[in-house]
Structure 1
Amino acid sequence: MSELTRPRRAVRLEATNHEGSLLGKNVSPTKFRVGKDSGFAFADILFAIDLNNEIVLGDAFPDWRGNIYDIQMVPDMATLVEWRPGLDSVIGDYWLKDGTPVPICPRNLVRKLVARLAERGYDATVAVEIEATLFEESVQEARERGYRDLTPLGGSAGATYHLARSSDWVVYMDAVVERLDQIGITWEAWTDEAAPGQTELNLAPTDPVRLGDSWARTRQIMREVAFELGHTVSFMAKPTAGFGQGAHINISLNSDSVNRFFAGEGPSDLMKHAVGGLLATMAGATSIVMPQITSYRRLVDLTGPPTTISWGVNNKTAAVRAITGHPKYSRLEYRLPGADVNPYFAIAAVLAGVLAGIERQIEPPEQVTDMAWCLPASSGVSRIPDTMSKAGAALDADPLLREYLGDEFVDFWVASRRWEWMEFHTKGGDPFAELSAWESQRYFEFP
């Protein structure tokens, strides 16, 4: 029985907004057959509201946005899967009525950069390490508590790779990977992470658009499984005052099925130029890959996340780690993104940096061979912007990211982060707290 004739009760249309939340609507099978080619109407307001459904003001409103016009979500039939019996799901892109992509459509932004890489003769292979924290309480109880003082699932001890987690934690992760297998998302490994209740789930390398799709769907699956088992999960960059959590992106470039980041000894010239571009754009990209107020609470020396604009061969304290010496596995690990990032925007930021480096043959600075944390100013290694305001200003002033991501995207994003900063400072956020109640309420369940 074909995908289009198999019995179903509904089809769920899916796409992320700029905040990385997976949005959608359920349509009847008849409605889906009628609209699958022309697309389905979504109000443009989805790009004009924040995580609290407030209208974001303070930026220019292009003629396609701001008056609750309809934009079209056109499904990508290659993503159609049976989500559960009777319900299919399909991921799509946002398009304008004239047939051009919405300039800030997350998925189409990745497509644009993939096409630019292809013009250079390269295709990218990317993978991600997703971190999340699991809690015993149901989401209803978590809401009643304001997402504070929750009980880590699996025990209160935190120790990376520990096998002593209680069975409820293992049952949850087993259920997650079973669901991933059912809908065809290839995963490679999962383990406990440093914080109590924290897990890391690694998705297998694939092309950039497909990885974005799998990443967004994996977060949705992890939420649904938590709900079904009476637990809750958060992708906040720092859901408790303890350890933060990230989403490391691994990338390699190929041509003629050969990994061009591989060289006989150390990084290839292409890899070095990719590093150069990633570091040259890192200050501005910080705003994109660390999107929320809480994202910046991760940036603490000696706790795991990078704090300097740095790179090094097999150096996990640097922001970009080069893995070399293997014809298949040579790659770059971009360690900056938080777990709260929009998957597509994170991938786009990495692709933009890589493209800038290889097209301009940007040479990287000297690699850091020792610990990249706590470096003095005299080292010449810059710190990663440690506030939303600093990162937004860096993005606003970055000509490379403006070129590769587009002025309209950059202007939109910077304005949205200024709005987020204002909301935090005028509606109850506490910049001096380890983690304010305002942040827990706003970010715990999102993206």
Structure 2
Amino acid sequence: MSAAEAASNGARAVRLEATNLEGSFLGKTVAPKKFASGAESGFAFADLLFGLDLGNAPAFGFAYPDWRGHLDDVFFHPDVSTQIEWEPGLDAVIGDYWLKDGTPVPLCPRNLTRKLTDRLASLGFTATVAVEIEATVFEESIQEARARGYRGLTPLGGSAGTAYHLAKSKDWYGYMNAVADRLDAVGIEWEAWSDEDAAGQIEINLAPGDPVKVCDSWARTRQIMREVAFERGHTVTFMAKPTEGYGQASHINISLQRDGANVFYAEEGPSEAMRHAVGGLLATIEGNTSIVLPQITSYRRLVDLSGPPVTASWGISNKTTAIRAVCGHPSYSRLEYRVPGADANLYLALAGVLAGVIAGLERKIEPPDPVSEMAWCMPPGVGVERLPDTITKAAAALEADPILRELLGAEFVDYWVGSRRWEWMQFHTAGGDPFAELSEWESARYFELP
């Protein structure tokens, strides 16, 4: 679709959409005439969109690249293949951020996903990915949630916290059915939704597909879940640990195809390509932890026996490990990367996962033996290291990772590491409590964003 055709669809406005580093869905709404005039040249956004933290303060204390720091413009270029009717009279289009010289912004999450997808294609592989979105829904409106400081809220559907629980109240089903209807209306394919472990917690599984397209669907699905909650007088959060109970995740499933065949499949178990992919993922898992667990609260999830992985481990059909290998089927053989929290920016998380897979394939990295026992509560000295358990430990691991620095780009790595250290400083100087199970500072900062 050309810009002129897009602008003449009859919409009264077009919404431009993309994420920042934190995974917040950002954009602006433009008139059809404005959209037509800027669809080729791009739309100016201040570089501060990559510089504001979730408290709306500019992050300092680390080196800025040449294009960042003077409130100069970067340019949003819409991908018109993503343009849809969001609601009557309003179209929506996802895009990427580019610099004046025509090169991609090195920090742009969507550009990074595409960069790694293209790198994988250069090796002759196509990736198919899927994501599990977890969120918690509360009865109270967003206004009431804000008035309460996002604490002491009532889980929608009752207090039962057993996974797959069907005895939910009608308002819970009403919310989920409304979300599914909206997904269908905008053309986002979903496969399943269900009750998750914590009270009020849900999981939605999006259909497998191309990495960039799945990330686009992830961003829009979360926006729909928010809008439906607001419309029905409820509120929803993707915070990694919104209450003192269970946290919530965003597991990534990935398989690789070559000439239409799943190269992760082998009749006898993990194929050579799967083993090498696991090897690369484990070689980068400590550094990638910074990307897939981006916030202070992300690390409060890492508790033995509570669901999330806590060790740099892999296993065959072992959900206690960080990487679960699903083997034995020509179509369904895949890897499940179980570290990401619900607060991760999927574009960046998937870029990091693809980087690990690429490194494993290119360097033929062999993994250690799979873990066959429970990977929680493992004693020291068994040869399985624990994942970094604070935002600063993970940032240091990423800073020291030569593989991720090469594949994701030094500019991205240095900027991301600086922003995580800034987040740590804000927590310790602006009211965070490291000894609380969940501090009021975290609720105020992370409940609504990302």
Under a length normalisation based on structure 2, what TM-score does the superposition of the two structures give? 0.98
Once the two structures are superposed, the pairs formed by residues 23-422 of structure 1 within 5 Å of their partners are: 23-422=26-425
The whole-number CA distance in structure 1 between the counterparts of 2:131 and 2:184 is 17
Aligned-residue offset at 1:4: 4.2
Paired residue secondary structure (1:206): coil
The whole-number CA distance in structure 2 between the counterparts of 1:117 and 1:8 is 38
Q: Which amino acid is 1:340 matched to? A: D
Aligned-residue offset at 1:110: 0.7
Q: Which amino acid is 1:213 matched to? A: D
User: What per-residue deviation string (whole Å, max 9, x for no partner) do you get for residues 388-446 of structure 1?
Assistant: 11101100000011011010000000000000000000011000001000000000001
The whole-number CA distance in structure 1 between the counterparts of 2:277 and 2:434 is 35
The whole-number CA distance in structure 2 between the counterparts of 1:406 and 1:281 is 14
Paired residue secondary structure (1:154): coil
Paired residue secondary structure (1:247): coil
User: What per-residue deviation string (whole Å, max 9, x for no partner) do you get for residues 260-298 of structure 1?
Assistant: 101111110000000001011000100000000000000
Paired residue secondary structure (2:207): strand
The whole-number CA distance in structure 2 between the counterparts of 1:68 and 1:419 is 19
Q: Which amino acid is 1:151 matched to? A: T
Q: Which amino acid is 1:289 matched to? A: V
Paired residue secondary structure (2:251): strand
Runs of 4+ in 1 over 6 A off after TM superposition: none
Are the counterparts in 1 of residues 313 and 371 from structure 2 also a CA contact under 8 Å? yes
Q: Which amino acid is 1:13 matched to? A: L
The whole-number CA distance in structure 2 between the counterparts of 1:257 and 1:182 is 30
Q: Percent identity?
A: 70
Q: Which amino acid is 2:447 matched to? A: F
Q: Which amino acid is 1:294 matched to? A: T
Greater mean alpha carbon deviation, residues 44-53 or residues 146-155: 44-53
Are the counterparts in 1 of residues 7 and 35 from structure 2 also a CA contact under 8 Å? no
Are the counterparts in 1 of residues 323 and 336 from structure 2 also a CA contact under 8 Å? yes
Are the counterparts in 1 of residues 264 and 270 from structure 2 also a CA contact under 8 Å? yes
Paired residue secondary structure (1:379): coil
User: What per-residue deviation string (whole Å, max 9, x for no partner) do you get for residues 61-120 of structure 1?
Assistant: 122110000110000001000000000000000000110000111000011111111110
Unmatched 5+ stretches in structure 1: none
Are the counterparts in 1 of residues 62 and 418 from structure 2 also a CA contact under 8 Å? yes
Aligned-residue offset at 1:6: 2.1
Q: Which amino acid is 2:284 matched to? A: T
Q: Which amino acid is 1:184 matched to? A: G
The whole-number CA distance in structure 2 between the counterparts of 1:62 and 1:181 is 41
The whole-number CA distance in structure 1 between the counterparts of 2:116 and 2:11 is 35
Are the counterparts in 1 of residues 7 and 33 from structure 2 also a CA contact under 8 Å? no
Aligned-residue offset at 1:5: 2.6
Unmatched 5+ stretches in structure 2: none
Q: Which amino acid is 1:105 matched to? A: C
The whole-number CA distance in structure 2 between the counterparts of 1:267 and 1:111 is 27
Aligned-residue offset at 1:37: 1.2
Q: CA RMSD in A?
A: 0.9
The whole-number CA distance in structure 2 between the counterparts of 1:308 and 1:248 is 16
Aligned-residue offset at 1:257: 1.0
